Amino acid sequence: MGELLVRNARIVYPATRGFVIDHGWLLVREGVIAGLAAGSVPLEVARPVAGRQEIDAAGMTLLPGLLNTHMHLYSMYSRGISTGRASHNFLDVLQDLWWRLDRSLLKDACWMSATFSGMDSLRCGTTTIIDHHASPSYVTGSLSTLSDALGKIGLRHVLSYEITDRNGMPEAVEGIEENLRFFDEVHDKRQLASGMVGLHASFTVSDATLATLRKRVGSRDPGYHVHVAEGAIDEADSLNKYGKRIVARLDDAGLLGPRSIAVHCVGVDASERELLAISGTPVVVNTVSNMNNAVGLPAVREMLEAGIHVGIGTDGYTANMFEEFRNTLVGLRHRYEDPSGFWTQVQEAQIETNADIVSRLTGRSVGRLEEGAAADFVLVDYASPTPLNPGNAFGHVFFGMSADLVDTVVVNGNVVVKGHRVLAVNREDLERESQKVAKAVWESFDRLSWLPTSN
């Protein structure tokens, strides 16, 4: 680490109460933003400092790094795969694709998917991911494997393992232990890695597993990362087996709170929205994934009216947050047949709520351009054809900027992408290695037989 000085940048913080500095500088010390201001670098900052790195950002726009608050790195190995038959509904999608794929992942595939997918995230200007991992054939140690890979390329991460007993209790217990082992290993270290506890979904987690989890968590407050009512099967299962809706079940198990993330929430009702709001549990929506799985879109307007904080993730569908927040806006406008709705709400979800979620889980200010925040930012090669000011900055980010224009990425004060290339890896070598691993993953995938279709 040490110091990094960025000069001559246009600095844009595209928050609802953000700012634009047409020509300014930003100083990083020990991974943290130590100062930023308009104009030329003042003399006391410009003095020579041994080992300081400098970037002349003339022509570039500096933005806070984008955050992806729900990701599945392992989904990378689904690219180009064939399940061999058509899935008729959400459960089929899980059984035909995801539960065969995750079971096929061993250590090398976990490492490679984190490296490759993490590299894609960085190149798209994403500086933190909150990942939800599953690899039932390699549970213990899997989160450390992902973390090693992500640490090497320099991507900030919050990891958890998807606890489930759909394959039996021993595997559920192994998942619980892996979450807690990793959480304890990285907690409060203030490095690139943080942990939380993951659960796959209500319909794949029994009360016995929840009781075991609660006992093992003890006095920790890790926060819980769980898919909620993504497909209709989840809510129906909870009502059938437990006589209550999913969010009530999670509340009874003590899993809600500001450090937790309720992902999707497509099928939640007003009573569940109230519980999410009262407990301060943020919801992370994943619009493109929902549309791809044909499960409908969540009632975001009603969530916001209930006082829920809504963030945005990709669910592993893409690493590109520029693409995701655009599609979130158009998806919601389409859902509500409202051509002028959701502008401020999507801006707030992407820039502010995602930053709040990551900051709570990492114990530091992340995703913001302010003194004392983690020095995670991007330089975008963007020429502005129209006036750019605090009132319309998000409009420029939304309509003018894209992942392709991300030139330089800084995470924790370190330059990790330059000229659109991740510095820590040789992409050609990585591609070759990854394809070798993919062959083994796909062979295993093909050997795992289908379960009967659910309709």
Binding pattern to Zn ion, positions 268-307, x when CB under 5 A?
A: ----------------------------------------
Min dist. Cβ of residue 318 to Zn ion (A): 13
Applying CB under 5 A, among 315, 348, 356, 376 the residue interacting with Zn ion is 315
Q: With contacts defined by CB under 5 A, how many residues of the chain interact with Zn ion?
A: 1
3-state secondary structure of 56: strand
Nearest CA-CA partner of 143 in 192, 93, 87, 181: 181
CB of 161 to Zn ion, least distance (A): 13
Closest separation in Å from C-beta 164 to Zn ion: 13
Query: Nearer Cβ to Zn ion, position 90 or 382?
Result: 90
Cα–Cα–Cα angle for 120, 124, 125, rounded to 5 degrees: 120
Both tokens assigned to 184: 């304890």
Q: How many residues does the chain have?
A: 455
The reply to whether 324 sits near Zn ion by the rule CB under 5 A is: no
Q: 315 or 356: whose CB is closer to Zn ion?
A: 315
Residues 107/113/119/123 CA torsion (nearest 10 deg) = -170
Q: Is the CB of residue 73 less than 8 Å from the CB of residue 133?
A: yes
Match 């180009």 to its residue by tokens. Answer: 80
- Smallest separation, CB 114 to Zn ion (Å): 16
Tell me how far, at minimum, the Cβ of 106 lies from Zn ion, in Å. 21
Please name the residue ranges forming H helices in 85-230: 90-93, 99-103, 107-123, 142-153, 169-186, 207-217
Question: In the bound complex, which residue of the shown chain has the CB atom lying closest to Zn ion?
Answer: 315
Stretch that binds Zn ion, among 154-162, 163-171, 276-284, 314-322 (CB under 5 A): 314-322
Question: Nearest distance from residue 227's CB to Zn ion, in Å?
Answer: 5
- Nearest CB to Zn ion, comparing residues 14 and 136: 136
Between residues 93 and 380, which has the closer beta carbon with respect to Zn ion? 93
Query: What does residue 411 show for φ and ψ, rounded to 5 degrees?
Result: -130, 130
Residue whose C-alpha is closest to residue 136's, from 115, 180, 111, 106: 106
Calculate ∠ Cα 375-380-383, nearest 5°: 140
What is the smallest separation between the CB atom of 97 and Zn ion, expressed in angstroms?
13
Report the residue number, 25 or 74, with the smaller CB distance to Zn ion. Answer: 74
Tell me if 237 sits within 8 A of 202, measured CB to CB. yes
Task: Round to whole Å and give the CA distance between 10 and 129.
Answer: 26
Phi and psi angles of residue 46, each rounded to the nearest 5 degrees, phi first: -75, -15
By beta-carbon proximity to Zn ion, the closer residue of 72 and 396 is 72
Interface contacts to Zn ion, rule CB under 5 A: 315
